[in-house]
Amino acid sequence: MRRLPRALLLLRLALLVAEGAPEALVSAPRSLVWGPGLQAAVVLPVRYFYLQAVNSEGQNFTRAPPGQTPFKVVVKSLSPKELVRIHVPKPLDRNDGTFLMRYRMYETANEGLKIEVLYGDEHVAQSPYILKGPVYHEYCECPENPQAWQKTLSCPTKEPQITKDFASFPSINLQQMLNEVPKRFGDERGAVVHYTIVNNHIYRRSLGKYTDFKMFSDEILLSLTRKYKYQVNVDGTVAAYRYPYLMLGDSLVLKQDSPYYEHFYTALEPWKHYVPIKRNLGDLLEKVKWAKENDEEAKKIAKEGQLMARDLLQPHRLYCYYYQVLQKYAERQSSKPEVRDGMELVPQPEDSTAICQCHREKPSREEL
């Protein structure tokens, strides 16, 4: 017994050594910066990139670095002659030593952008980053070759969920769908928006009462048609959205077993990225108890889930996903899409900022 305090003291010292590292100072040059917002060609409504704080010994911070010195981003037009309005919100602290940096452009920067990432007065990593122009505004109508576009966004070559979802629809008969879908989903469930995309214009018809979600689908389709040309016809319905936000947080997600899914679920494994619970919630208490008693393991699952979600749910990956769904759908259509009775044109935003000079070569063929 006499020796115990000494053992405890040693243990405490060991812990102090282990915990000592994050107290070291932030090293601006050793910190890491990466992400699509540093590439001119990745056109998104809000551009973003990440920052990992690293200390002077080259170790990653796993919590927000101590002290008052903030990371800061300054985005300017490359040419002093060109005035470009850009909004840069404060970095978003993700509480794990990383930060999300965002900026929104209000017009196209023809010459390009200079992005400075600063810690105090010091440049971080390879800052300043030079994005050679044109750096297009999201509303600029400037279609490009879809292959090039997918490459720029590092779209995954395969989306297993899409392949699976379309497996039972080798061909899609638009006329037949038009006879069946409005009745089944519009009248009975009140939520179908019927879209047709012809010659890069979007037309839609809302069927049923609960179709306000069209503002989201409009936005995605308008954005995609600005980015390349295609003809496709798609009917939209809607699913639940809460889960991804849960996954992005830093707590453990307990996920109810469900016949419904979102496109990224295939990549998530029970007990690796989340803790499964029965559909009838019969084992909820048991699983919560498990999490309490297995704190380390629960934390590990939470972390894995968060990392996976961050990877899968990056904004640009969603555009990839929608593109591939539309592509698959288009391949299967047995007739040409047409603008049908009762459809209205969905206009591109009229914002004067949409006016820009498109320097991309026209895609060589009409897509789809």
Ligand X SMILES: *[C@@H]1O[C@H](CO)[C@@H](O)[C@H](O)[C@H]1NC(C)=O
- Interface positions with ligand X (CB under 6 A): 32, 52, 60, 98
Q: What is the pairing mode between strands 201-207 and 71-77?
A: unpaired
CB 32 to ligand X: min, Å = 5
Closest CA to 98 of 250, 254, 219: 250
List alpha helices for 97-213, DSSP H.
Answer: 146-152, 160-167, 174-181
Q: Which is nearer to ligand X, 32 or 177 (CB)?
A: 32
Closest CA to 201 of 44, 37, 47, 347: 347
Q: Which is nearer to ligand X, 309 or 326 (CB)?
A: 309
Tokens of 322: 């929608």
CB 48 to ligand X: min, Å = 15
Tokens of 216: 């989201």
Q: Which is nearer to ligand X, 58 or 282 (CB)?
A: 58
- Total Cβ atoms within 10 A of residue 8: 10
CB 58 to ligand X: min, Å = 8
Q: Which is nearer to ligand X, 95 or 176 (CB)?
A: 95
User: Ramachandran region of residue 20, left (φ > 0), alpha (ψ -120 to 50) or beta?
Assistant: alpha
Q: Which is nearer to ligand X, 98 or 150 (CB)?
A: 98
Pair 65, 94: CB distance under 8 Å: no
Closest CA to 91 of 50, 33, 139, 53: 50
Q: Give me the residue label for tokens 């040419």.
A: 79
CB 53 to ligand X: min, Å = 9
Q: Which is nearer to ligand X, 52 or 217 (CB)?
A: 52
CB 64 to ligand X: min, Å = 14
Q: Which helix (H) or strand (E) holds 113?
A: strand 112-119
Dihedral pair phi/psi, residue 150, rounded to 5°: -65, -35
Q: Which is nearer to ligand X, 32 or 368 (CB)?
A: 32
Q: Which is nearer to ligand X, 31 or 324 (CB)?
A: 31
Chain-centroid distance of CA 312 in Å reads 7
Q: Which is nearer to ligand X, 58 or 259 (CB)?
A: 58
Closest CA to 155 of 164, 146, 165: 146
CB 96 to ligand X: min, Å = 9
DSSP classification of residue 171: S
Q: Give me the residue label for tokens 């060589």.
A: 364
CB 268 to ligand X: min, Å = 20
Pair 262, 238: CB distance under 8 Å: no
Q: Which helix (H) or strand (E) holds 305?
A: helix 295-312
Closest CA to 153 of 356, 299, 315, 33: 315
Dihedral pair phi/psi, residue 215, rounded to 5°: -60, -30
